[in-house]
Amino acid sequence: MHIIYSTPITSFYKRKYDKIDIILYDRKVIFYISLMHPKPFQDLIKHFSSLPSIGPKMAERLTLYLFKQSPEDIKSFATSLEALTKLSFCKRCFNVSDQEYCSLCRDTQRDQTIVCVVEDALDAIAIERSGFFHGTYHILGGNLEIGKNGETNELHLTIEKLLHRIKEEKTQEILLATNPTTEGDFTALYIKRKLHIFPSLRISRIAKGLATGGDIEYADEQTLIGALKNRRYYDASV
């Protein structure tokens, strides 16, 4: 069901009845919005409902909560939302940035010879919080999935950009820090195989210190430091 709520609301097929706005997905009724609500209220409920992990009831509650705030606070909230449209992805590592290159890439004190590959920006932030790693990052934009027909979603990830970057920057070490889940392990293995074209590159994978199936984003700092410190280097000949 989480796919339903993370799909943009505009892609839903909608039908209106007298009292409720029914949103259908895959011919199933998944969401009712009472048309007794004023229009701006309904619109905001729809926006909240399109966010991951937010169900329709929670969307209604959040909308009511915001409505009860002062007009200044609501405007400030709206301004922050609008400011998101001015951000973009860093040209080098694909982190969120307000400039061409993100603050981590602009930091010349960092070790530019090592790149930590993570699934998304929140993983990089979690690793930064641990204070252990002082190299650079590369954000993949998700993990690798294989469809029923054997096709992968590789084109939606930044794997090719990573290969190009290693070649251009003459990177010396890649630390594969995708999540220790089945998908994360598969993604790390897939990238490791692609890196065969760089014979002198040292490649490591974060240690299994994190609970299997757990996400880097939610790991505590000590656990993360342990996983980074005890990273396992692949044998170059394998």
59/90 with CB nearer Zn ion:
90
Q: Which parts of 44-63 interact with Zn ion (CB under 5 A)?
A: none
Smallest distance from the beta carbon of 90 to Zn ion, in angstroms? Answer: 3
Residue type, 117: V
Stretch that binds Zn ion, among 66-74, 96-104, 113-121, 192-200 (CB under 5 A): 96-104
- DSSP strand E in 13-92: where? 13-16, 20-25, 28-34, 88-89
23/93 with CB nearer Zn ion:
93
Identified binder of Zn ion from the candidate list 93, 176, 188, 203, rule CB under 5 A: 93
Identified binder of Zn ion from the candidate list 46, 92, 138, 231, rule CB under 5 A: 92
The verdict on 90 binding Zn ion (CB under 5 A) reads: yes
Would you say 6 and 52 are in contact if contact means Cβ atoms under 8 Å apart? yes
Q: What value, to the nearest 5°, has the Cα angle with vertex 217 and ends 213 and 220? A: 90
Would you say 174 and 204 are in contact if contact means Cβ atoms under 8 Å apart? yes
The verdict on 95 binding Zn ion (CB under 5 A) reads: yes
Query: Tokens at residue 80, please?
Result: 């922050």
Contacts of 90 (CB under 8 A, 6+ apart): 96, 97, 100, 101, 102, 104, 105
The verdict on 159 binding Zn ion (CB under 5 A) reads: no
Residue type, 24: L
Closest by Cα among 169, 50, 53 to 111: 169
135/226 with CB nearer Zn ion:
135
CA distance 203 to 122: 22
Count of residues that bind Zn ion according to CB under 5 A: 6
Which residues, in sequence order, are bridge partners of residue 146? 152
Smallest distance from the beta carbon of 103 to Zn ion, in angstroms? Answer: 8
Smallest distance from the beta carbon of 48 to Zn ion, in angstroms? Answer: 30
45/166 with CB nearer Zn ion:
166
95/179 with CB nearer Zn ion:
95
Q: Which parts of 103-142 interact with Zn ion (CB under 5 A)?
A: 105
Residue that the structure tokens 């609301």 belong to: 9
Residue type, 82: E
Residues that bind Zn ion (CB under 5 A): 90, 92-93, 95, 102, 105
